[in-house]
Amino acid sequence: MTTRVRPRRGDPALGSIALVALGLYVLFIVVPVIMSAWKSLTNENPLLARADFVGFSNYTEMAHDSTLAGSLGFTLLLAGSVTIATNAVGIGFAMLLNKTSLSFRMMRTVAFLPQVLSGVIVGYVWRYILARDGILDNVLVSLGVIDRPITWLGSPHLAVLSVGLVATWGLTGFTTVVHLAALQSIPVELYQAAMVDGAGRWQRFRRITFPMLAPGTTISVTISLITMLKLYDIIAVLTAGGPANSTQSTALYIIQLAFTDDRYGYASAVAMLLLVVSIAIALSVTALLRRREVDL
């Protein structure tokens, strides 16, 4: 038997913990964002000691930057398609794995594995799989599916598709676990009542499972979107943004602007744009999905 000690209101220990958390948040999130916002109004170059205030010229330049437009378009396409795909697959996997036997518990662990791996490792592994004459090509050729190797990462369209598939693979473990947790919170009685009423499998999914998954879906979709909007590591290793910038995410472009082109000021402005776009999308999607939760 355990005794739970309820924290008293005004407990100084709680205040200290909150202060530490708040301090870390301010130090590592708020301060860098403010610094970045300030730098975005300058022409800071890492090699020069002096940076001049340039007003909003970095922001007006963005309007004419075709590379930025391309990277933003790719990032939004990737975020949208991967979020839909990874959550659809995640719901499917969650339903398949929603059993309690040991073998299913082991399979859940396997399904979660990609989420544990760092993006760099995921990128390296898939680079070997998708390389010309790589594992995938060899398997497909030996099975007679294709007669000559396909350059999965060498053609702009296929490279976009490949990055999307790898990102989906990497994120599906997370969406599976979130939806599995949501599935396990659905009362069994609802299904029993529906079966008594003669509801089939599809009706049970449509009328019970899918609506009851809503809270999990809100979390899963929002986090998937944010993850994809700032995706850097997998792309940096898998394609380095190529070929011909076809897979250059906005995050990758920011790194290039800052550390290759020596344009900290402009890179900061693009980073601020990405931040605003991410916040706007995350808030809109969350509001939309929460409305669905309220409708239950």
**Are the CB atoms for 270 and 225 separated by under 8 Å?**
no
By C-beta, is 134 or 173 nearer to other proteins?
134
Please choose, from the candidates 209, 215, 180, the residue with its C-alpha nearest in 3D space to the C-alpha of residue 89: 180
Cβ 62 to other proteins shortest distance, Å: 11
* Cβ nearer to other proteins, comparing 158 with 186: 158
Taking the complex as a whole, how short is the minimal distance between the CB of residue 114 and other proteins, in angstroms? Answer: 24
Closer to other proteins by CB, 15 or 187: give it: 15
Tokens standing for residue 263: 């344009």
Closest CA relative to residue 232, chosen from 104, 108, 122, 101 = 122
In whole angstroms, the minimum distance from the beta carbon of 27 to other proteins comes to: 14
Exposed e or buried b for every residue in 170-192, given b needs 16+ CB within 10 A? bbbbbbbbbbbebbeeeeeeeee
**Nearest distance in Å: CB 10, other proteins:** 21
Residues that bind other proteins (CB under 8 A): 45-48, 61, 64-67, 131-132, 149-156, 240, 242-245, 256-257, 259-263
Nearest in space to 155 (alpha carbons), one of 247, 251, 250: 247
CB closer to other proteins out of 71 and 227 = 71
CB 112 within 8 A of CB 160: no
Q: Report in angstroms how near the CB of residue 85 gets to other proteins at its nearest.
A: 24
145 — phi, psi (to 5°)? -70, -40
Residues 6+ apart with CB under 8 A from 203: 194
Query: Strand pairing partners for 42?
Result: 53
Q: How far is the CB of 254 from other proteins (least distance, A)?
A: 13
Other Cβ atoms within 10 Å of 48 Cβ, number: 11
When the beta carbons of 103 and 260 are compared against other proteins, the nearer one is 260
When the beta carbons of 180 and 258 are compared against other proteins, the nearer one is 258
Whichever of 11 and 133 has its CB closer to other proteins, that residue is 133
Helix (H, G, I), strand (E, B) or coil at 262: coil
CB of residue 262 to other proteins, shortest distance in Å: 5
The type of residue at 31 is V
